[in-house]
Chains A and B, each alone.
Chain A
Amino acid sequence: MDNLLGLWQESGLYLMTPGQMVMIAVGLLLLFLAINKNFEPLLLVPIGFGGILANIPGAELASSAVDAALHGAHPDVLAAFAHTLGLEIGSSLEAVKDAYNHASVSVQSQLSLQAADFGYSNGMLYNFYSVAIASGIAPLVIFMGVGAMTDFGPLLANPKTLFLGAAAQFGIFATIMGAVGMSYLGWMDFSIADAAAIGIIGGADGPTAIYVSSLLAPELLGAIAVAAYSYMALVPLIQPPIMRALTTEEERKISMTQLRVVSKREKIAFPIVVLILVAMLLPSAAPLLGMFCFGNLMKECGVVDRLSDTAQNALINITTIFLGLSVGSKLAADKFLDPKTLGILALGIVAFGIGTAMGVLMAKLMNKFSEHKLNPLIGSAGVSAVPMAARVSNRVGLEANPQNFLLMHAMGPNVAGVIGSAVAAGVMISMVQSMGG
């Protein structure tokens, strides 16, 4: 009878908390959206599945050894932890948790060794997270793969479209102001680092958003990544109303001149030019843009096709699997079910909207000063989300004029948006870290 009772107390049904139940439902919802609605399935399938794994009661897959030990709350373990943290023996669980969260890195690693002594180990997803995301590796490897898949031809043929990519980054900074405003009004408790990490959702670039939030606000990473990828999937719904509202029928009909042919040598030189400029002007953006340029150079130089092929296929696929599962590990109930998540989801969609609007308005502004008219619809592609946003520009353009193919023209601002959000990410990381918040 005792054995039966023990088995029951070990079972998922007995240990399940309401929060975990809700999060498993969220994971299933993400899987449904990915499989049935085709919402960024490459990311949302691993994220949704990882989210379910992270909420399996009793398994503690997403917890570190210390978290698992604190969860077990054995008196001997607590006493040992309290001793290491310099608390009185017999301190409460909450006091130990609080002291642990505020302890220095060296003390925290001491505690994790101590937890190992007591037989606790890191959960599987926690290990994935520390290797793939906490180290920064997975988003950077993905950025390299994206670089190896990017064709800068349309951008090189019309470099002015870089300005559209710059303007669309206003969404990032407007969202930061939104997040800061929310904390000022006392609705939410976002620090400036949190605000910066939320703002980067407006960059509409998954790896950049994950990279920035892993550095600035790791506890919000789950919500930020889910918001970024869900809204990227929703770009075809979010953007067109904004684009139509800001342009006239005449402007949407503007057809653009054929892009000139870009030579191989220009394409090879471009990533090197970007790299040199980053090195000289903006070293803080070097990890992201360095990997991006490296991937692109491998593609364009034509002598390392094997490496380029690996970067854009096998390697990016492997990395995506672990990135997705690691992001899923951040969907543990105690961290995700927080009013902040709602704030992040709300701010994220505003970020996309403002970015789209600014790209379109910038294109209209440039038309005032230039002879070669731009179709303002390509401005919306400045919010990265490659290649979805460019396809949206093309589709809305075809509605106004069935002979008007904007896809290649929109790819220019689209890849400019990738560079723009990486630059914005670099600036924010260095500024926020120097603010000490």
Chain B
Amino acid sequence: MQESIIQQGVDLLIFGMGTVFVFLTVLVIATLGMSSFIRRFFPDAVAPVTEPAPTTPSNSVDPRHLAIIKAAIEKHRNKQ
């Protein structure tokens, strides 16, 4: 009994640690595969982010200025 509990502990150590490493190794491979698959065939996530960026400076009036101007007109009209 006393010998066997050591044996059971060693079994747990070897198989447990082995399983953790094997599982996470497979997970690393699967993750790398999944990432490269998605980045190759469905890479749309990056495109829409860069798209609107250049359009903002091309506007002649900055949106913040526009908002301020609108507010000023509104205020002026309300006075009359």
Contact = CB atoms under 8 A, between A and B. Distances in A.
**A and B interact:** yes
B45 to A, nearest CB: 4
Interface in A385-433: 416, 419-420, 423-424, 427-428, 431-432
B65 to A, nearest CB: 31
A303 interface: no
Given A162-B27, A277-B27, A428 B43 contact: no
Most buried by B among A155, A159, A431: A159
A423 B13 contact: no
Contacts of B53: none
B24 A163 contact: yes
A432 B13 CA distance: 12
Most buried by B among A179, A261, A270: A270
B9 A180 contact: yes
Given A263-B46, A270-B31, A423 B24 contact: yes
A269 B19 contact: no
Most buried by A among B20, B25, B32: B20
A216 to B, nearest CB: 11
Contacts of B35: 156, 159, 262, 266
Interface in B1-42: 2, 5-6, 8-13, 15-17, 19-28, 30-32, 34-35, 38-39, 42
Interface of B is mostly: helix
A196 interface: yes
Given A265-B45, A416-B24, A419-B27, A424 B16 contact: yes
B34 A177 contact: no
Interface of A is mostly: helix
B16 A173 contact: yes
Interface residues of B, number: 33
A143 interface: no
A348 interface: no
A437 B45 CA distance: 51
Given A173-B16, A177-B13, A431-B16, A192 B34 contact: no
User: What are the 5 tightest A-B residue pairs by CB atom distance, in nearest-first order?
Assistant: A180-B9, A263-B45, A166-B24, A173-B13, A159-B31
Given A423-B23, A428-B16, A273 B9 contact: no
A256 B22 CA distance: 27
B17 A169 contact: yes
A201 interface: no
